[in-house]
Amino acid sequence: GQNIDQPTEMTATEGAIVQINCTYQTSGFNGLFWYQQHAGEAPTFLSYNVLDGLEEKGRFSSFLSRSKGYSYLLLKELQMKDSASYLCAVMDSNYQLIWGAGTKLIIKP
Amino acid sequence: TAGITQAPTSQILAAGRSMTLRCTQDMRHNAMYWYRQDLGLGLRLIHYSNTAGTTGKGEVPDGYSVSRANTDDFPLTLASAVPSQTSVYFCASSGTGGSYNEQFFGPGTRLTVL
């Protein structure tokens, strides 16, 4: 079966750095997405990786290792507004997104 | 721009009743999707449409039907609601059904079936 694993919840301090991991087992791979979802709102796109390596976008970076079935999202200089759930999703061989359950990130002052 | 709109925002429905959740996008996207989101579970695909006139089944299609008469609209119908269909429903769209095309999500419909 297809599976996406990510931690249920993480806590970090304002101004710090946090890394959210995602491991996956899917039938085929056509890219990995990270989305942010604030409580009660819709998911919004953060990043996309299809090749191995690091993609940097401002305070957020996303890393992919296809051979290990592994990705992480790195958030730097954490702000209170970064408190949200972060969803990892893999596009499978049918070009459908398979979603992880999300990691709830709590930022403390 | 509106992007994707969904209606209603929330609804309480008696079991056995039917209901249609509406979704409209103004981005001229070819592909549209319906997901449900339940606590502790990832988004699960119910139905999708890669282009107007075509639809496909996702991971959890039972009890739901869709139609795609035109590019903009993608309604989801529950023919006879059951309590297990209590969930938050998100409609999404993307440029095509291919690889790199981020999905844009509507604000969601919170449905409670009693």
DSSP states of A39-78:
TTS--EEEEEE-SSEEEEETTEEEEEETTTTEEEEEE-S-
Least CB–CB distance from B99: residue in A4, A45, A91: A91
User: How far does B81 lie from chain A, in Å, by closest CA?
Assistant: 23
Subunit contact A101:B97, Cβ cutoff 8 A: no
Given the structure tokens 């702000």, which residue do they identify? Answer: A79
Question: Residue B13 above 60 pLDDT?
Answer: yes
Give mean pLDDT, residues A80-84. 98
pLDDT at residue B75, as a whole number? 98
Give mean pLDDT, residues B77-87. 97
Name which of B37, B48, B19, B88 is nearest A95 in CA terms: B48
The band of B97, judged by pLDDT with boundaries at 50, 70 and 90, is: low
CB-count exposure of residue A91 (10 Å: 0-12, 13-18, 19+) = buried
- For residue B27, give the amino acid letter: M
Residue B37: alpha-carbon gap to chain centroid? 11
Residues of A in CB contact (< 8 Å) with B are 4, 30-31, 33, 41-45, 48, 50, 87, 89, 91, 95-102
Supply the Cα-derived Rg of chain B in whole angstroms. 13
The band of B99, judged by pLDDT with boundaries at 50, 70 and 90, is: low
pLDDT at residue A67, as a whole number? 96
Question: Residue A96 above 60 pLDDT?
Answer: yes
Chain A positions in Cβ-Cβ contact with residue B105 (cut-off 8 Å): 42-44
Half-sphere exposure (Cβ direction) of B28: Cα atoms closer than 13 Å: 0
pLDDT at residue B98, as a whole number? 58
Give me the percent of chain B exceeding a pLDDT of 70: 95
Comparison of pLDDT for B84 and B40, the residue scoring more:
B84
Question: Residue B2 above 80 pLDDT?
Answer: no
CB A24 within 8 A of CB A4: yes
